[in-house]
Chains A and B, each alone.
Chain A
Amino acid sequence: MTFASFVIQLLNGLAAASSLFLVSAGLSLIFGVTRIVNFAHGSLYMLGLYGAYSLIEALGRTPLGFWSAVVLAALAVGLAGVVIEVVVLRRIYRSPELFQLLATFAIVLVIKDVALAAWGPEDLVGPRAPGLSFPIEILGRGIPAYDLMLIVVGPVVLALMWLLLARTRWGALVRAATQDREMVGALGVDQARLFTSVFFVGAALAGLGGALQIPREPATLDLDLSVIADAFVVTVVGGLGSLGGAFLAAVLIGVAKAFCIGFGFSKLTLVVEFVIMGVVLVLRPYGLLGKAPATPRAIGETPPPLGPPRRWPVAAWLVLFALVPLVGDRYVTVLLTDIVCFALFAVSLHFIMGPAGMVSFGHAAYFGLGAYAGALLFKKAGLPMELALVLAPFVAGLFAVVYGWFCVRLSGVYLAMLTLAFAQISWSIVFQWDELTAGSNGLVGVWPSAWLSGKPAYYWMALALCGIGIAILWRALFSPFGYVLRAGRDSPLRAEAIGIDLRAYQWAAFVLAGTMAGLAGSIFAFSKGSIAPSSVSIAQSTDGLVMVLLGGVETLTGPVVGAAIFTWLRDLLARETDFWRAALGLMILLIVVVFPQGLVGGLAALYARWRPA
């Protein structure tokens, strides 16, 4: 690589960093004040692109038309953010932490289908930037003038945001709320208005980031999810709530990607941001410029203590489920096999995120690695299917041993993002290791032995194994081990003060949950006959989170119910309507608004109210 191309790649990286920074800044701001992990932030970015495209077509491809379209699109997306906050999120601020994530996930689904209906399926390539589309020669190479302009936009927005936060009353309130939301409320500040205004600014920044990309990137329906992961990474690498940190992280990641390409390691770009995030979080647990949260104050109330499962109802349900294949058709059995696999997956995720207080955004790693381990032990190592099936979870467990060792050293969203980093690194290896995992194609021909090849037989086996897995996890929760985990969640300081080695317990919990997720994955793989990288993907992790939250994170049986309802709904809606994503999203939103504690949590509350005193 010559000096000239080095400089050009540096500039390319900086240009990419600017738009990354705008999206991340909005995300960081929203999270800082409202503690909402806004999964729909990428969708707002996507709306920015679509909006700018339409507005430019309407206003004309002149410099004036272009720039007014960009500004108007950003403002319109800001208003969309306000609508989301007022109509949905405002109703669920008092829900268990992360419940809002479920609502924003539903909003992603709705926005995707709305965009499809409004703009159609074809990719929309916007115009080049009027007046800035000529290349500027630097060291004998051309770089578009627009890219150089973008390089300036990032720092300018950073400076403006800094002024807004440091020099205005609104900014002071935002900073205060970021540090201590309850205190700000106690001092008489109207929180609802503050949150709405923060949503407006955050969403408008995402919209601006999208609108400014119009000359560089076509508007497509996949942008939402591809942007959101990057934005989370940048926010966390920079340190939550730190705009300077977000800028630094955006530059670091943008430039690192450009150099990967420049030095001929383009395949690394699939994962480089997650590698950077992993390294940064291991070395600096609060990101580059983030600070440890001042005094961890529980938001809302401490979750109510869980009661142990009542045996007879659980047994009755099990018998009922075991009987279904005798009366139902083949497909019901297939669907139920999916449901029991996902139920164990969701319960294992709930085990660490509920009682143990360690949220994982990358739980699919263990599900997927268990599935791949089963498939590989069966196909490549030539083990009998039964042996491969039961050994696979331990392989997933081994990965949990390694990943967990790093993860339990962190807490909160940082921990969640480190689990995501490990999951994405695993995914990219599975996705690209053609010789071992068959790369993006995945492994096929992973069918069960003859005695299990009938759907009912396989289902009963899955029901038994997943039932045992769930029983082990629930049993662990009501053993001294489980009580220690809850102590660690509710009061880590006191737990350590009485001599508990909390990290060791959390590590063990992580490994147990990973092993059980691996069991779910391994059963899943043999039920499908094939396994593909999507089982290790962010989408799979998100599904797990949605199931747990839908059922109710503060309940014991919630994850099982959530897994069943989500899988069943998705199957049903996908069959009945073309716009099944919007339908699914609206269903979830309805559940979210009616049952802000999750389905089981809401039903339990109703039951408690109706029960004769």
Chain B
Amino acid sequence: MLTRNRLLAGVSALAAASLALPAAAQDTIKIGELNSYKIFAAFLDPYKKGWEMAVDEVNAAGGVLGKKIEIVSRDDNGNPADAVRVAEELLSREKVAFLIGTFPSNVGLAVADFAKQRKTLFIAGEPLTDKIVWDNGNAYTFRLRTSTYMQTAMLIPDAAKLKKKRWAIVYPNYEYGTSATAAFKKLLKQKQPDVEFVAEQAPPLGKIDAGAVAQALADAKPDAIFSSLFGPDLAKFVREGSQRGLFKGVEVFDLLGGEPEYLDPLKDEAPVGWYVTGYPWYGIDTPEHKKFLAAYQARYKDYPRLGSIVGYSLTMAAVAAIKKAGSLDQDKLLAAMSGLQLTIPFGPITFRALDHQSTMGAYVGRIGLKDGKGIMTDWHFVDGKDALPSDDEVKKMRPAN
């Protein structure tokens, strides 16, 4: 049994090695971060740069509670099951104080539910799904970013002002697209009861057959189009739609089209005149943003994307919560998060006690072209708190707990 014994010995050694606990460093506060770095690399690469910069800034300023902070980051493979496993690893082996991060809706929701089970604070950074703070909201989960509903609501005033009657809709066929579409239809109908939705296309995420979709939308002869496409789907749709004359005389709204992550790849084909939400980093001259921009460009020799803002602000929110709580006790952290106020590069925000949503806002404007690159023009900032439904509506959606 030579081989078997050797195998046994080898496996035991491995098991012993993996059982060994990493020495818990007492002079740092560890925050657990998990995200789908490989699946959504275009967004999360700048995001990571954002939180790395925040960590260094915080530590250079002396840390928090007299200790340095450290972010322990894991790849969740874009998969809820893997995410729950790495979250467990962060909590039980790395002994992190609490969890932050996640990108896709299903991962965010699974980790939120895990946080509830483990009675641990979780600050979701990027997931857009409304459910994470409303239908599936729980006491342990907070969310930083403007949600699908909020960003849709920000576009409604412009959409209603146009008084277009025939609307066509195109969205990626999963949670984000369906809830953006539902919110848009509901909100526009409230403002403009005679609106008609003449065509709806729901291509699979990342696999839009753009020529056929553009043709089908054109057949419905819409006055305006609402799209929640992003990434490669958006690029394909823009190109096919403009080659086929879909956008001639038609007003187009795209929910995320102004985010540098999705606008910049379009280069000189950026669709001029579209209404979008996004991040015009080149034009924001508030002091908090200028400071962030200068530091980011000095450090990375690159301009920030929206992901950079989310990563940076998420870390700052986590640190602010620790500072306000004065300890790493979960109850104190939760109490601190409720109503937590801080200033991020987009201005002051509050994590609402009502539903744990932050009031982070977004920039709304139209796409223009400058030096062969897409930019946002005529933009203005919409505070997140002005894009949320009434407290009563929120209370109805959010389970009491």
Which residues of A are in contact with B by a Cβ distance under 8 Å?
1-2, 5, 8-9, 12-13, 15-16, 112, 116, 120-125, 128, 133, 135, 141-144, 147, 215-218, 220-222, 226, 257-258, 261-262, 264, 266-267, 269-270, 313, 324, 327-332, 334-335, 338, 431-432, 434, 439-442, 444-445, 447, 524, 528-535, 539, 568, 571-572, 574-575, 578, 580-581, 603-604, 606-607, 610-611
Complex Cα spacing A116 to B7, Å:
36
B104-112, B149-157, B327-335, B376-384: which one contacts chain A?
A: B104-112
Q: Which residues of B contact A13 (CB under 8 A)?
A: 212
- Do A331 and B265 touch (CB < 8 A)? no
- Do A528 and B84 touch (CB < 8 A)? yes
- Do A218 and B110 touch (CB < 8 A)? no
Distance in angstroms from B235 CB to nearest chain A CB is 5
- Do B209 and A269 touch (CB < 8 A)? yes
- Do B45 and A121 touch (CB < 8 A)? yes
- Do B93 and A329 touch (CB < 8 A)? yes
Determine if B390 is an interface residue (Cβ-Cβ < 8 Å). Answer: no
Partner of B216, one of A216, A262, A329, A334: A262
Partner of A128, one of B37, B42, B175, B239: B239
- Do B117 and A434 touch (CB < 8 A)? no
Q: Which residues of A contact B85 (CB under 8 A)?
A: 334-335, 338, 528, 571
- B71-113 vs A, CB cutoff 8 Å, 1 = contact: the mask equals 0001101111100111011001100000000000110011011
- B201-243 vs A, CB cutoff 8 Å, 1 = contact: the mask equals 1111011011111011011000000000001100110011001
Partner of A16, one of B41, B209, B235: B209
Determine if B372 is an interface residue (Cβ-Cβ < 8 Å). Answer: no
Ordered by A's residue number, 7 sampled pairs between the chains whose C-beta atoms are within 8 Å are: A122-B265, A141-B244, A261-B215, A529-B110, A574-B75, A574-B77, A603-B3
- B122-156 vs A, CB cutoff 8 Å, 1 = contact: the mask equals 00000001010000100000000000000000000
Distance in angstroms from A383 CB to nearest chain B CB is 20
Complex Cα spacing A528 to B110, Å:
9
- Do A580 and B75 touch (CB < 8 A)? yes
Distance in angstroms from A568 CB to nearest chain B CB is 8
**Contacts A329-B92, A444-B136; is A125 near B235 (CB within 8 Å)?**
yes
- Do A142 and B245 touch (CB < 8 A)? yes
- Do B212 and A439 touch (CB < 8 A)? no
- Do A142 and B243 touch (CB < 8 A)? yes
Partner of B80, one of A12, A123, A532, A571: A532
**Contacts A574-B74, A581-B38; is A530 near B113 (CB within 8 Å)?**
yes
Complex Cα spacing A221 to B136, Å:
32
- Do A266 and B201 touch (CB < 8 A)? yes
- Do B3 and A330 touch (CB < 8 A)? no
Centre residue among A12, A135, A581, A607 by max chain B CB count within 10 A: A12
Nearest residue, chain A, Cβ from B215: A8
- Do B204 and A257 touch (CB < 8 A)? no
Complex Cα spacing A532 to B266, Å:
33
- Do B109 and A444 touch (CB < 8 A)? yes
Complex Cα spacing A123 to B235, Å:
9
The 10 tightest CB contacts between A and B, nearest first, are: A121-B41, A330-B92, A440-B174, A444-B113, A530-B110, A607-B3, A261-B212, A258-B212, A532-B80, A12-B212
Complex Cα spacing A432 to B205, Å:
13
Distance in angstroms from A375 CB to nearest chain B CB is 12
- B40-79 vs A, CB cutoff 8 Å, 1 = contact: the mask equals 0110110000000000000000000000000000110111
Q: Which residues of A contact B261 (CB under 8 A)?
A: 122
Determine if B351 is an interface residue (Cβ-Cβ < 8 Å). Answer: no
Determine if B264 is an interface residue (Cβ-Cβ < 8 Å). Answer: yes
Q: Which residues of B contact A445 (CB under 8 A)?
A: 113
Nearest residue, chain B, Cβ from A534: B79
Nearest residue, chain A, Cβ from B176: A440
Determine if B19 is an interface residue (Cβ-Cβ < 8 Å). Answer: yes
Not counting A216-B240, A530-B109, a sample of 9 additional A-B residue pairs whose C-beta atoms are within 8 angstroms of each other reads: A2-B219, A123-B232, A142-B244, A216-B211, A216-B236, A216-B239, A267-B202, A441-B175, A574-B75
Distance in angstroms from A296 CB to nearest chain B CB is 35
Nearest residue, chain A, Cβ from B262: A123
**Contacts A258-B209, A441-B129; is A530 near B114 (CB within 8 Å)?**
yes
**Contacts A226-B207, A327-B19; is A125 near B267 (CB within 8 Å)?**
yes
Complex Cα spacing A112 to B41, Å:
12
Determine if B343 is an interface residue (Cβ-Cβ < 8 Å). Answer: no
- Do B215 and A262 touch (CB < 8 A)? yes
Q: Which residues of A contact B400 (CB under 8 A)?
A: none
- Do B174 and A442 touch (CB < 8 A)? no
- Do A122 and B206 touch (CB < 8 A)? no
- Give the residues from 12 to 37 in chain B that come closer than 8 angstroms, CB to CB, to chain A: 15, 18-19, 21, 37
- Do A116 and B41 touch (CB < 8 A)? yes
Complex Cα spacing A461 to B308, Å:
44
Partner of B203, one of A269, A330, A431: A269
Nearest residue, chain A, Cβ from B88: A334
Nearest residue, chain A, Cβ from B19: A328
- Do B213 and A528 touch (CB < 8 A)? no
Distance in angstroms from A157 CB to nearest chain B CB is 20
Q: Which residues of B contact A147 (CB under 8 A)?
A: 211
- Do B3 and A606 touch (CB < 8 A)? yes
Nearest residue, chain A, Cβ from B131: A441
- Do A332 and B213 touch (CB < 8 A)? no
Nearest residue, chain A, Cβ from B45: A121
Determine if B396 is an interface residue (Cβ-Cβ < 8 Å). Answer: no
Determine if B173 is an interface residue (Cβ-Cβ < 8 Å). Answer: yes
- Do A440 and B175 touch (CB < 8 A)? yes
Nearest residue, chain A, Cβ from B210: A216
Distance in angstroms from B304 CB to nearest chain A CB is 14
Q: Which residues of A contact B243 (CB under 8 A)?
A: 128, 133, 135, 142, 144
- Do A610 and B2 touch (CB < 8 A)? yes
Q: Which residues of B contact A258 (CB under 8 A)?
A: 209, 211-212
Complex Cα spacing A444 to B113, Å:
7
Complex Cα spacing A328 to B200, Å:
54
Complex Cα spacing A385 to B9, Å:
38
**Contacts A8-B215, A603-B7; is A532 near B204 (CB within 8 Å)?**
no
Q: Which residues of B contact A604 (CB under 8 A)?
A: 3
Q: Which residues of A contact B86 (CB under 8 A)?
A: 574
Distance in angstroms from A123 CB to nearest chain B CB is 5
**Contacts A12-B211, A529-B117, A532-B80; is A217 near B204 (CB within 8 Å)?**
no
Q: Which residues of A contact B265 (CB under 8 A)?
A: 122-125, 218
Distance in angstroms from A6 CB to nearest chain B CB is 10
- Do A122 and B42 touch (CB < 8 A)? yes
Distance in angstroms from A224 CB to nearest chain B CB is 12
- Do A442 and B215 touch (CB < 8 A)? no
Nearest residue, chain A, Cβ from B211: A12
- Do B175 and A12 touch (CB < 8 A)? no
Determine if B199 is an interface residue (Cβ-Cβ < 8 Å). Answer: yes
Nearest residue, chain A, Cβ from B14: A568
Complex Cα spacing A539 to B80, Å:
13
- Do B213 and A266 touch (CB < 8 A)? yes
Q: Which residues of A contact B42 (CB under 8 A)?
A: 121-123
Complex Cα spacing A491 to B79, Å:
42
**Contacts A122-B42, A123-B42, A334-B88; is A266 near B203 (CB within 8 Å)?**
yes
Complex Cα spacing A148 to B219, Å:
20
- Do A329 and B19 touch (CB < 8 A)? yes
